[in-house]
Copies of this chain bind each other. A is one copy, B any other.
Amino acid sequence: MIIIMRMGAAKEDIANVLNKIETDGFKAHPIYGVERTVIGVIGDDREKRPEPFERMPGVERVERVLRPWKLAGREFHPDDTVIRLNGVSVGGESVVVMAGPCSVESRDQIMDIAHAVKEAGATVLRGGAFKPRTSPYSFQGLGEYGLKLLREASEATHMPVVTEVVSTRDMPLVREYADVLQIGTRNMQNFALLTAAGEAHKPVLLKRGMSNTIEEMLMAAEYILAAGNPRVMLCERGIRTFETATRFTLDINAVPLLKQLTHLPVIVDPSQATGKWDLVAPVSKAALAAGADGLIIEVHNNPSEALSDAAQQLKPESFGALMDDLRLLAPAVHRTL
């Protein structure tokens, strides 16, 4: 931490800051500049909040030196984490494609779609049974029955299943049926849920909060990791900006930046990030080219009758065409599919 004093800060104010640093168990190292005094705090102050210093008389602001995460960062864990799901590896050379409907709606629907995406080359099945919906009057998912159907589709197609858990209350239930627990964008800072996911002994797909920074996403991952679960995948799914022509703005910069900062696999969700089915293919290709370890794509056999997110789901044919494109693209960026 570096503490920047106001111009003309009183000697006494400087002395108080130096004092507090030492009392807190760190070493203080002041630099007396031309206009201001700056004080370096020496020691591992990662768990120390800067605010108490900001509140002291004479202090202008505090800058952190050490990054606030430990377990999620590459500094103490330089090698890529590879997560294994019944024969599918996430985070290695091969790019994983997770596909399926936004919501599980019926037995026929999920079975049809599961077979279609499997045939096109997907290796993980996605589908929502508990749906977080903006309106209390919208379809909220089939709940446990939806989980059962997902399990059945998973077994029929030999694909592991990723599905969302929206509440600590549902965690025991969802754990029982899912291979990967998805934490959705609206729950990225639901810390009780993160801790529960950390104790769940299942891989977690952590979606970025729609207005959370990359640092906050890594701190959310840190909650899961610190609770004892090392199998976390991060998912960039678009952030909220002033642009309304698309549902969200995919932060493509985040993909290579996350690969630098963390050893955890990085997945991209082009369906949520665009909200428009006809942008899903070009944006999926962009994500792969930027270095994503996987994609999670919404596919529906009858989108205009879908009970949620109809506008952004691909038909199986378009998904098949996209998979062909991705197979062509992967070797050009030194990946396999």
Which residues of A are in contact with B by a Cβ distance under 8 Å? Answer: 2, 4, 7, 20, 29, 31, 33-36, 38, 40, 42-44, 46-47, 49, 51-56, 63, 65-66, 68, 75, 132-138, 140, 166-170, 186-187, 189-193, 195, 210-211, 213-216, 219, 222-223, 226-227, 238-246, 249-257, 260, 273-274, 276-279, 282-283, 285-291, 303-306, 308-313, 325, 328-329, 331-333
Q: A249-B253, A274-B253, A286-B289 are contacts. A189–B33 as well, Cβ < 8 Å?
A: no
**Contact partners of A33 in chain B: CB under 8 A:** 40, 42-43, 65
CA distance A140 to B227 in the complex (A): 14
Report yes or no: A329 in contact with B289, Cβ–Cβ below 8 A. Answer: yes
* CB-CB nearest in chain B for A284: B289
CA distance A35 to B43 in the complex (A): 8
**Contact partners of A29 in chain B: CB under 8 A:** 31
**Contact partners of A243 in chain B: CB under 8 A:** 213-214, 239, 251, 253-254
Report yes or no: A135 in contact with B274, Cβ–Cβ below 8 A. Answer: no
CA distance A66 to B191 in the complex (A): 35
* Minimum distance in angstroms from A41 CB to a CB of chain B: 8
Report yes or no: B308 in contact with A49, Cβ–Cβ below 8 A. Answer: yes
**Contact partners of A256 in chain B: CB under 8 A:** 278-279, 282-283
**Contact partners of A244 in chain B: CB under 8 A:** 213, 244
CA distance A40 to B325 in the complex (A): 39
Report yes or no: A47 in contact with B282, Cβ–Cβ below 8 A. Answer: no
* Minimum distance in angstroms from A168 CB to a CB of chain B: 5
| Most chain B CB atoms below 10 A, which of A186, A213, A253 | A253
**Contact partners of A192 in chain B: CB under 8 A:** 166-167, 169-170
Report yes or no: B55 in contact with A277, Cβ–Cβ below 8 A. Answer: yes
CA distance A255 to B249 in the complex (A): 12
**Contact partners of A167 in chain B: CB under 8 A:** 168, 190, 192-193
Report yes or no: B289 in contact with A285, Cβ–Cβ below 8 A. Answer: yes
**Contact partners of A63 in chain B: CB under 8 A:** 2, 63
**Contact partners of A186 in chain B: CB under 8 A:** 189-191
Report yes or no: B43 in contact with A34, Cβ–Cβ below 8 A. Answer: yes
